[in-house]
Amino acid sequence: MSLQPTHSIAVPGIWPQSGTGPSILVCRPNTRLGNTVLLTPLIEELQTRLPNARIDVLSACPAAPEVFAGFPGVYRVHELPFRGVRHPFRYAGTLLRVCRVGYDIIIDPCPNSWTARFLTRWIPGRLKVGFTHPRRQWGLDVSVPFKDAPRHMGAYPVYLVRRVLFDLDPQVARADEATLTVHLSPAEREFGRREIRRLAGDEASGPVIALATHATGAKRFAVSWWRAVLEQLRMRVPQARFIEIRSPSGHATLPELAGFSSRRTRHVAAVIDAATCFVCADSGLMHLGAATDTVTVGLFKVTLPQLYAPRRGRSCALAASDAQPEAAAARIAQLID
Protein backbone atom coordinates (compact mmCIF):
# COMPACT_ATOMS: atom_id res chain seq x y z
CA MET A 1 0.00 0.00 0.00
CA SER A 2 1.55 3.26 -1.06
CA LEU A 3 1.83 6.11 1.40
CA GLN A 4 -0.53 9.03 0.93
CA PRO A 5 -0.31 12.30 2.82
CA THR A 6 -3.04 13.19 5.30
CA HIS A 7 -3.90 16.23 3.18
CA SER A 8 -3.23 17.07 -0.46
CA ILE A 9 0.39 17.99 -0.97
CA ALA A 10 1.40 21.38 -2.26
CA VAL A 11 4.12 19.89 -4.48
CA PRO A 12 2.83 16.76 -6.26
CA GLY A 13 5.04 13.92 -7.36
CA ILE A 14 7.34 13.85 -4.34
CA TRP A 15 5.85 10.82 -2.58
CA PRO A 16 7.48 7.45 -3.29
CA GLN A 17 5.43 4.96 -5.27
CA SER A 18 6.57 2.01 -3.17
CA GLY A 19 5.14 1.01 0.20
CA THR A 20 7.80 2.94 2.09
CA GLY A 21 7.37 6.54 3.15
CA PRO A 22 9.51 9.48 2.08
CA SER A 23 12.98 9.97 3.48
CA ILE A 24 13.17 13.31 5.28
CA LEU A 25 16.15 15.25 6.60
CA VAL A 26 15.60 17.98 9.18
CA CYS A 27 18.63 20.25 8.80
CA ARG A 28 19.31 22.04 12.12
CA PRO A 29 23.09 22.09 12.70
CA ASN A 30 22.85 23.91 16.04
CA THR A 31 24.80 23.05 19.19
CA ARG A 32 22.27 24.07 21.88
CA LEU A 33 20.08 21.72 23.88
CA GLY A 34 17.15 24.15 23.92
CA ASN A 35 17.07 24.61 20.15
CA THR A 36 17.24 20.83 19.75
CA VAL A 37 14.31 20.18 22.10
CA LEU A 38 12.37 22.90 20.26
CA LEU A 39 12.49 20.67 17.16
CA THR A 40 10.42 17.95 18.85
CA PRO A 41 7.02 19.40 17.78
CA LEU A 42 8.19 19.26 14.16
CA ILE A 43 9.32 15.64 14.50
CA GLU A 44 6.03 14.76 16.21
CA GLU A 45 4.07 16.41 13.38
CA LEU A 46 5.99 14.58 10.67
CA GLN A 47 5.73 11.13 12.21
CA THR A 48 2.03 11.63 13.02
CA ARG A 49 1.04 12.70 9.51
CA LEU A 50 3.56 10.47 7.72
CA PRO A 51 3.83 7.36 9.91
CA ASN A 52 5.89 5.44 7.36
CA ALA A 53 8.43 8.20 6.77
CA ARG A 54 12.10 7.79 7.58
CA ILE A 55 13.15 10.93 9.44
CA ASP A 56 16.81 11.86 9.93
CA VAL A 57 18.13 14.88 11.82
CA LEU A 58 21.36 16.76 11.11
CA SER A 59 22.51 18.34 14.38
CA ALA A 60 25.62 19.63 16.15
CA CYS A 61 24.12 19.23 19.63
CA PRO A 62 25.81 16.44 21.63
CA ALA A 63 22.48 15.64 23.32
CA ALA A 64 20.51 15.31 20.06
CA PRO A 65 20.63 11.47 19.90
CA GLU A 66 19.13 11.31 23.40
CA VAL A 67 16.49 13.96 22.71
CA PHE A 68 15.17 12.07 19.67
CA ALA A 69 15.75 8.53 21.00
CA GLY A 70 12.09 8.00 21.91
CA PHE A 71 10.66 8.99 18.52
CA PRO A 72 9.83 5.89 16.46
CA GLY A 73 9.92 7.91 13.23
CA VAL A 74 13.52 9.06 13.71
CA TYR A 75 15.84 6.68 11.91
CA ARG A 76 19.17 8.39 12.47
CA VAL A 77 20.71 11.50 14.00
CA HIS A 78 23.71 12.68 11.99
CA GLU A 79 26.04 14.23 14.55
CA LEU A 80 28.28 17.06 13.42
CA PRO A 81 31.17 17.65 15.84
CA PHE A 82 30.35 20.13 18.60
CA ARG A 83 33.09 22.51 17.48
CA GLY A 84 33.33 21.74 13.80
CA VAL A 85 36.22 24.12 13.10
CA ARG A 86 38.41 22.04 15.40
CA HIS A 87 37.39 18.77 13.72
CA PRO A 88 37.28 19.47 9.97
CA PHE A 89 37.69 15.84 8.91
CA ARG A 90 34.88 14.59 11.15
CA TYR A 91 32.69 17.45 9.94
CA ALA A 92 33.36 16.66 6.29
CA GLY A 93 32.93 12.92 6.84
CA THR A 94 29.50 13.41 8.44
CA LEU A 95 28.35 15.61 5.57
CA LEU A 96 29.55 13.10 3.00
CA ARG A 97 27.52 10.35 4.70
CA VAL A 98 24.47 12.61 4.67
CA CYS A 99 24.93 13.39 0.98
CA ARG A 100 25.02 9.70 0.07
CA VAL A 101 21.48 9.10 1.39
CA GLY A 102 19.58 11.02 -1.30
CA TYR A 103 16.59 12.41 0.60
CA ASP A 104 13.12 12.94 -0.78
CA ILE A 105 12.59 16.02 1.39
CA ILE A 106 15.05 18.33 3.16
CA ILE A 107 13.59 20.76 5.69
CA ASP A 108 15.37 23.91 6.85
CA PRO A 109 13.18 24.83 9.86
CA CYS A 110 15.04 27.98 10.92
CA PRO A 111 14.49 31.29 9.09
CA ASN A 112 17.69 32.89 10.39
CA SER A 113 20.42 30.26 10.17
CA TRP A 114 23.05 30.80 7.47
CA THR A 115 24.59 27.39 8.13
CA ALA A 116 21.29 25.51 7.85
CA ARG A 117 20.42 27.23 4.58
CA PHE A 118 23.89 26.62 3.13
CA LEU A 119 23.78 22.91 4.01
CA THR A 120 20.20 22.58 2.76
CA ARG A 121 21.33 23.99 -0.57
CA TRP A 122 24.40 21.74 -0.75
CA ILE A 123 22.95 18.36 0.39
CA PRO A 124 21.21 16.45 -2.46
CA GLY A 125 17.43 16.18 -2.14
CA ARG A 126 14.36 16.03 -4.37
CA LEU A 127 12.44 18.74 -2.51
CA LYS A 128 13.93 21.44 -0.27
CA VAL A 129 11.64 23.56 1.87
CA GLY A 130 12.08 26.44 4.29
CA PHE A 131 11.08 30.01 5.04
CA THR A 132 11.53 32.83 2.58
CA HIS A 133 14.42 35.12 3.46
CA PRO A 134 15.41 38.30 1.57
CA ARG A 135 19.15 37.57 1.84
CA ARG A 136 18.99 33.79 1.41
CA GLN A 137 16.93 33.20 -1.69
CA TRP A 138 18.89 30.26 -3.06
CA GLY A 139 18.75 26.63 -1.99
CA LEU A 140 15.00 26.04 -1.63
CA ASP A 141 12.46 24.59 -4.05
CA VAL A 142 9.44 25.79 -2.04
CA SER A 143 9.29 28.45 0.65
CA VAL A 144 6.66 30.32 2.63
CA PRO A 145 6.83 33.81 4.20
CA PHE A 146 7.75 33.86 7.86
CA LYS A 147 5.50 36.84 8.66
CA ASP A 148 2.38 34.64 8.97
CA ALA A 149 4.02 31.97 11.13
CA PRO A 150 3.58 31.68 14.91
CA ARG A 151 6.37 33.39 16.81
CA HIS A 152 7.30 30.51 19.11
CA MET A 153 10.42 28.61 18.05
CA GLY A 154 8.72 25.28 18.59
CA ALA A 155 5.65 26.26 16.57
CA TYR A 156 6.89 27.85 13.37
CA PRO A 157 8.61 24.72 11.97
CA VAL A 158 5.26 22.91 12.35
CA TYR A 159 3.58 25.75 10.49
CA LEU A 160 6.17 25.44 7.72
CA VAL A 161 5.52 21.76 6.96
CA ARG A 162 1.77 22.15 7.27
CA ARG A 163 1.84 24.89 4.67
CA VAL A 164 4.33 23.31 2.26
CA LEU A 165 3.83 19.56 2.56
CA PHE A 166 0.13 19.41 3.39
CA ASP A 167 -1.18 22.53 1.66
CA LEU A 168 -3.06 23.90 4.68
CA ASP A 169 -4.10 27.53 4.68
CA PRO A 170 -2.29 29.82 7.17
CA GLN A 171 -5.07 29.88 9.76
CA VAL A 172 -5.42 26.10 9.89
CA ALA A 173 -1.64 25.67 9.88
CA ARG A 174 -1.38 27.81 13.02
CA ALA A 175 -4.07 25.86 14.92
CA ASP A 176 -3.44 23.07 17.41
CA GLU A 177 0.22 23.84 17.78
CA ALA A 178 2.21 20.83 18.93
CA THR A 179 3.93 20.86 22.32
CA LEU A 180 7.49 19.96 23.23
CA THR A 181 7.96 16.33 24.11
CA VAL A 182 10.61 13.83 25.07
CA HIS A 183 9.33 10.26 24.92
CA LEU A 184 10.53 8.61 28.13
CA SER A 185 10.26 4.84 28.42
CA PRO A 186 8.57 3.18 31.44
CA ALA A 187 12.01 2.16 32.72
CA GLU A 188 13.26 5.74 32.48
CA ARG A 189 10.21 7.05 34.32
CA GLU A 190 10.77 4.49 37.06
CA PHE A 191 14.40 5.61 37.29
CA GLY A 192 13.19 9.17 37.83
CA ARG A 193 10.78 8.11 40.56
CA ARG A 194 13.50 6.16 42.36
CA GLU A 195 15.85 9.13 42.24
CA ILE A 196 13.17 11.46 43.59
CA ARG A 197 12.52 9.06 46.48
CA ARG A 198 16.24 8.88 47.17
CA LEU A 199 16.72 12.64 47.07
CA ALA A 200 13.51 13.88 48.70
CA GLY A 201 12.74 10.92 50.95
CA ASP A 202 9.70 8.73 51.34
CA GLU A 203 8.65 9.94 54.75
CA ALA A 204 6.66 12.98 53.54
CA SER A 205 3.87 13.23 51.01
CA GLY A 206 4.15 16.88 49.98
CA PRO A 207 5.07 18.16 46.53
CA VAL A 208 8.64 17.91 45.28
CA ILE A 209 9.96 21.13 43.76
CA ALA A 210 13.08 20.84 41.61
CA LEU A 211 15.19 23.97 41.15
CA ALA A 212 17.85 24.56 38.51
CA THR A 213 19.83 27.75 38.97
CA HIS A 214 22.31 27.63 36.10
CA ALA A 215 21.78 29.74 32.98
CA THR A 216 23.97 31.75 30.62
CA GLY A 217 24.83 35.44 30.69
CA ALA A 218 22.10 37.90 31.57
CA LYS A 219 19.55 35.08 31.97
CA ARG A 220 21.24 34.07 35.21
CA PHE A 221 19.88 34.96 38.65
CA ALA A 222 22.18 35.45 41.63
CA VAL A 223 22.50 32.72 44.25
CA SER A 224 21.11 35.14 46.85
CA TRP A 225 18.02 35.58 44.66
CA TRP A 226 17.45 31.83 44.52
CA ARG A 227 17.86 31.54 48.29
CA ALA A 228 15.25 34.27 48.76
CA VAL A 229 12.86 32.38 46.46
CA LEU A 230 13.55 29.15 48.35
CA GLU A 231 12.84 30.80 51.69
CA GLN A 232 9.56 32.26 50.42
CA LEU A 233 8.47 28.94 48.95
CA ARG A 234 9.14 27.17 52.24
CA MET A 235 6.92 29.70 53.96
CA ARG A 236 4.12 29.46 51.39
CA VAL A 237 4.27 25.70 50.79
CA PRO A 238 5.55 24.31 54.10
CA GLN A 239 4.88 20.69 53.14
CA ALA A 240 7.07 20.91 50.01
CA ARG A 241 10.39 19.15 49.58
CA PHE A 242 13.14 20.69 47.44
CA ILE A 243 15.93 19.28 45.31
CA GLU A 244 18.47 20.89 42.98
CA ILE A 245 19.03 19.82 39.38
CA ARG A 246 22.72 20.55 38.94
CA SER A 247 24.91 21.02 35.90
CA PRO A 248 26.61 17.94 34.40
CA SER A 249 29.77 18.83 36.34
CA GLY A 250 27.85 18.32 39.58
CA HIS A 251 28.60 21.82 40.90
CA ALA A 252 26.14 22.71 43.68
CA THR A 253 24.75 26.24 43.75
CA LEU A 254 22.46 25.38 46.67
CA PRO A 255 24.51 22.78 48.60
CA GLU A 256 21.94 22.72 51.40
CA LEU A 257 19.62 20.85 49.01
CA ALA A 258 19.94 17.28 47.82
CA GLY A 259 21.07 17.42 44.22
CA PHE A 260 20.92 15.35 41.04
CA SER A 261 23.50 15.58 38.29
CA SER A 262 24.07 13.50 35.18
CA ARG A 263 25.66 13.80 31.78
CA ARG A 264 22.85 11.70 30.35
CA THR A 265 20.11 14.01 29.14
CA ARG A 266 17.37 11.42 29.40
CA HIS A 267 18.22 10.69 33.05
CA VAL A 268 17.89 14.40 33.84
CA ALA A 269 14.56 14.52 32.00
CA ALA A 270 13.34 11.47 33.92
CA VAL A 271 14.10 13.06 37.30
CA ILE A 272 12.42 16.32 36.30
CA ASP A 273 9.42 14.32 35.06
CA ALA A 274 9.06 12.68 38.49
CA ALA A 275 9.01 16.01 40.36
CA THR A 276 5.84 17.97 41.04
CA CYS A 277 7.19 21.25 39.71
CA PHE A 278 10.39 22.34 38.00
CA VAL A 279 11.62 25.93 38.32
CA CYS A 280 14.41 27.12 36.05
CA ALA A 281 15.71 30.23 34.34
CA ASP A 282 15.28 30.44 30.57
CA SER A 283 17.73 27.84 29.27
CA GLY A 284 18.02 24.58 27.41
CA LEU A 285 17.25 22.76 30.65
CA MET A 286 13.98 24.71 30.88
CA HIS A 287 12.93 23.40 27.45
CA LEU A 288 13.91 19.87 28.50
CA GLY A 289 11.69 20.24 31.56
CA ALA A 290 8.87 21.62 29.41
CA ALA A 291 9.10 18.47 27.27
CA THR A 292 8.16 16.32 30.30
CA ASP A 293 4.82 16.01 32.09
CA THR A 294 5.98 18.12 35.04
CA VAL A 295 4.73 21.69 35.48
CA THR A 296 7.72 23.76 34.38
CA VAL A 297 8.06 27.41 35.36
CA GLY A 298 10.49 29.31 33.14
CA LEU A 299 11.87 32.51 34.65
CA PHE A 300 12.39 35.26 32.08
CA LYS A 301 14.06 38.61 32.51
CA VAL A 302 15.85 39.40 29.21
CA THR A 303 14.48 37.07 26.51
CA LEU A 304 11.00 37.11 24.99
CA PRO A 305 8.54 34.57 26.42
CA GLN A 306 6.53 34.52 23.20
CA LEU A 307 9.57 33.00 21.50
CA TYR A 308 10.73 30.55 24.16
CA ALA A 309 7.98 29.98 26.76
CA PRO A 310 7.55 26.40 28.07
CA ARG A 311 4.86 24.75 25.97
CA ARG A 312 3.13 21.82 27.67
CA GLY A 313 0.15 21.49 29.98
CA ARG A 314 0.24 23.99 32.86
CA SER A 315 3.86 24.94 32.25
CA CYS A 316 4.33 28.67 31.83
CA ALA A 317 6.70 31.57 31.45
CA LEU A 318 7.07 33.92 34.41
CA ALA A 319 8.50 37.42 34.14
CA ALA A 320 10.95 37.69 37.03
CA SER A 321 12.95 40.59 38.40
CA ASP A 322 16.28 40.56 40.18
CA ALA A 323 14.72 42.84 42.79
CA GLN A 324 11.54 40.84 43.48
CA PRO A 325 12.12 37.16 44.31
CA GLU A 326 8.99 37.24 46.50
CA ALA A 327 6.73 37.83 43.48
CA ALA A 328 8.23 34.84 41.66
CA ALA A 329 7.79 32.63 44.71
CA ALA A 330 4.14 33.68 45.09
CA ARG A 331 3.33 32.73 41.50
CA ILE A 332 5.14 29.37 41.78
CA ALA A 333 3.22 28.59 44.98
CA GLN A 334 -0.06 29.32 43.19
CA LEU A 335 0.81 26.88 40.43
CA ILE A 336 1.62 24.15 42.94
CA ASP A 337 -1.66 24.70 44.77
Q: Are residues 313 and 195 in the same domain?
A: yes
Range of the domain at 37: 23-174
Phi-psi region of 201 (alpha: psi -120 to 50; beta: other; left: phi over 0): left
Q: Are residues 132 and 103 in the same domain?
A: yes
Q: What is the mean pLDDT of residues 107-119?
A: 93
Q: CA 279 to CA 290: how far, in whole Å?
A: 10
pLDDT interval class at 303 (50, 70, 90): confident
Which letter does DSSP use for residue 42 in this model? Answer: H
Residue 7's pLDDT is: 36
Taking only the tens place, the pLDDT of each residue in 114-165 is 999 999 999 999 999 999 977 766 778 999 999 989 999 999 999 999 999 9
Boundary residue ending a domain (130, 149, 174): 174
Q: CA 205 to CA 300: how far, in whole Å?
A: 30
Whole-model pTM above 0.85? Answer: yes
Q: Are residues 205 and 168 in the same domain?
A: no
Q: Are residues 149 and 192 in the same domain?
A: no
- State yes or no: pLDDT of 238 exceeds 80: yes
Residues of the chain above pLDDT 90, percent: 74
Q: Are residues 123 and 69 in the same domain?
A: yes
Mean pLDDT rounded to a whole number for the chain: 90
Q: CA 287 to CA 264: how far, in whole Å?
A: 16
pLDDT interval class at 311 (50, 70, 90): confident
Is residue 208 classed exposed, middle or buried when 0-12, 13-18 and 19+ CB atoms within 10 A define those classes? Answer: buried
**Number of independent structural domains in the chain:** 2
Boundary residue ending a domain (134, 154, 174): 174
Give the domain CATH number at 72.
3.40.50.2000
Question: Does some domain include residue 34?
Answer: yes
- State yes or no: pLDDT of 1 exceeds 60: no
Question: Does some domain include residue 14?
Answer: no
Which letter does DSSP use for residue 68 in this model? Answer: T
Which of 159, 228, 256, 219 lies closest to 32 in space, CA to CA? Answer: 219
Q: Are residues 300 and 231 in the same domain?
A: yes
Question: Does some domain include residue 12?
Answer: no
Q: Are residues 148 and 267 in the same domain?
A: no
Question: Does some domain include residue 2?
Answer: no
Q: Are residues 156 and 260 in the same domain?
A: no
Boundary residue ending a domain (174, 194, 217): 174
Q: Three-state SS for 258?
A: strand
Residue 189's pLDDT is: 97
